[in-house]
Amino acid sequence: MAERIRLGMIGGGKGAFIGAVHRIASRMDGHFDLVAGALSSTPEKARESGEWLGLAPDRSYSDFREMAIREKRLKDGIDAVAIVTPNHMHYPVAREFLKRGIHVICDKPLTSALPDARRLAKLAHESDALFVLTHNYTGYPMVRQARGMIAGGEIGTIRVVQVEYPQDWLTEAVETSGDNKQSEWRTDPARSGAGGSTGDIGTHAFNLAGFVTGLELESLSADLQRFVEGRRVDDNAHVMLRYKGGARGMLWCSQVAPGNENALRLRVYGDRGGLEWAQEDPNYLWFTPFGEPRRLLTRAGAGARDVSARVSRTPGGHPEGYLEGFANIYAEAAQAIRAKMAGQPVPADVVYPTVDDGVAGVAFVDACVRSSARNAAWIRLA
């Protein structure tokens, strides 16, 4: 195993959810060492979090720009940075690192607003550094399996896509309770973007459907709701999808559906078969060749494809989960970064969500919001 990649982190101080996830993901396969961070913009909190994580005091910053400048100069400065701030900071932070040639691993959605997303994509394309977007659900082995099967023609020409992502944690107005930071920034348009559930989880659903099917969205019609009084962004969304080439779909995302924790689920039907996958039971994939009994494929079990096996760590029956899926994005990033560092091309089988996927995601949210504002008028994408 090669030497570890030196990783920095922006955001993700004590108590943050997604920062901790990124750290575990970066660590799981031994590819990265977290050596620097601007874990908070509040100096005191940054310092505390840095200590808690065992960062050297001089590698713990409160200003991400300062960190970018200084780390660039260090002989053993960071090779890559993970950005796990609220959405509105993704762009300004990424910019500082990209322009200094430091690889970026950035949480989704790409940005809080579409113009920022486009600017960021331009920057990323011009930079020599890599940009990896953690649409982590694409890291699940059975998602890779489904994608491989579809590419291999196993369900024929796709007709129908059903994707949904219901949760229930915003059923009540927790953002005004004063003790739920997550809900505060995620329902604040200034930090999260104009989309609420659409931006937070709808983008995941949209991305997953595209990743697995390879289809490109042509237009959508969206009906967004704010069910909780006083909420400033959508907490439920119904979207009809028209893909290029004739496939049709529906997307539902919700944060007010009691009984749903994190129930992302994708179903794809073609003229020769169907596939069904659910994030909460990620080691399974239902596959029906039309006219035959349903089959329950398992991760690393009978019928596993190479694209799935290469992101599996254990045999079938040993469930892998959310963190392993997330770690797969980091493992892909590691392979890509190491190739870059060695001056070699990124291997062809390395797959991760890109800045362009990120632009598509933000464009999706933007289109949902605009469509809904016009009584669910059809909005063309790209």
Of 293-352, binders to a copy of itself (CB under 8 A) are 293-298, 301-303, 313-324
Which token pair is 209? 């459907």
* Separation CA 332–CA 261 (nearest Å): 28
Q: How far is the CB of 169 from a copy of itself (least distance, A)?
A: 8
SS3 (DSSP) at 215: coil
Tell me: does residue 236 bind a copy of itself (CB under 8 A). Answer: yes
In angstroms, rounded to a whole number, what is the distance separating the alpha carbons of residues 63 and 102? 16
Which of the ranges 73-81, 84-92, 115-123, 219-227 carries the binding residues for a copy of itself, by CB under 8 A?
A: 219-227
Question: Binding to a copy of itself by residue 292, rule CB under 8 A?
Answer: yes
What's the closest the beta carbon of residue 248 comes to a copy of itself, in angstroms?
5
User: φ, ψ for residue 257 (rounded to 5)?
Assistant: -115, 85
Candidates 176, 288, 310, 350: give the one binding a copy of itself (CB under 8 A).
288
Least spacing, CB of residue 97 vs a copy of itself, in Å: 23
CB 278 within 8 A of CB 269: no
HSE at residue 45, side-chain half, CA atoms within 13 A, is 13
Q: Both ends of the chain: CA-CA distance in Å?
A: 42
What residues between 21 and 80 interact with a copy of itself by CB under 8 A?
A: 21, 23-24, 27-30, 52-54
Which residue in the set 271, 309, 347, 380 belongs to the binding site for a copy of itself (CB under 8 A)?
Answer: 271
CB of 251 to a copy of itself, least distance (A): 9
Residue 192 binds to a copy of itself (criterion: CB under 8 A): no
Q: Does 171 bind a copy of itself (CB under 8 A)?
A: yes
Token match 């505060």: residue? 184
> Contact between 162 and a copy of itself (CB under 8 A)?
yes
Torsion of CA 278, 284, 285, 287, to 10 degrees: -130
Question: Rounded to an integer, what distance in angstroms lies between the CA atom of residue 377 and that of residue 56?
Answer: 54
Kindly list the strands in the beta sheet with 32-38, ordered across the sheet, starting from the edge strand earlier in the chain.
32-38, 5-10, 80-83, 103-106, 131-133
Q: Does 230 bind a copy of itself (CB under 8 A)?
A: no
Please tell me whether residue 259 binds a copy of itself under the rule CB under 8 A.
yes
Q: Which of 41, 180, 225, 335 binds a copy of itself (CB under 8 A)?
A: 225
- Indicate which single residue of 45, 65, 242, 338 sits in contact with a copy of itself (rule: CB under 8 A): 242
Contact by Cβ (8 Å): 107, 12:
no
Alpha-carbon span 160 to 92, nearest angstrom: 38
Binding positions for a copy of itself, 85-104, rule CB under 8 A = none
C-beta closer to a copy of itself: residue 113 or 170: 170
Q: State the nearest-atom distance from the C-beta of 53 to a copy of itself, in Å.
A: 6
Longest dimension (CA), the chain: 64
- Residue 110 CB coordination number (10 Å): 35
Task: Quote the least distance from Cβ 245 to a copy of itself, whole Å.
Answer: 12
Closest CB 372 distance from a copy of itself, rounded Å: 11
146 binds a copy of itself (CB under 8 A): no
Q: How many CB atoms lie within 10 A of CB 75?
A: 4
Q: Does 17 bind a copy of itself (CB under 8 A)?
A: yes
Number of residues that bind a copy of itself (CB under 8 A): 89
Q: Are 169 and 255 in contact (CB under 8 A)?
A: yes
Q: Smallest distance from the beta carbon of 363 to a copy of itself, in angstroms? A: 20
Instruction: Tell me: does residue 185 bind a copy of itself (CB under 8 A).
Output: no
Closest-CA residue to 268 (of 253, 252, 287, 254) = 287
Closer residue to a copy of itself (CB): 24 or 381: 24
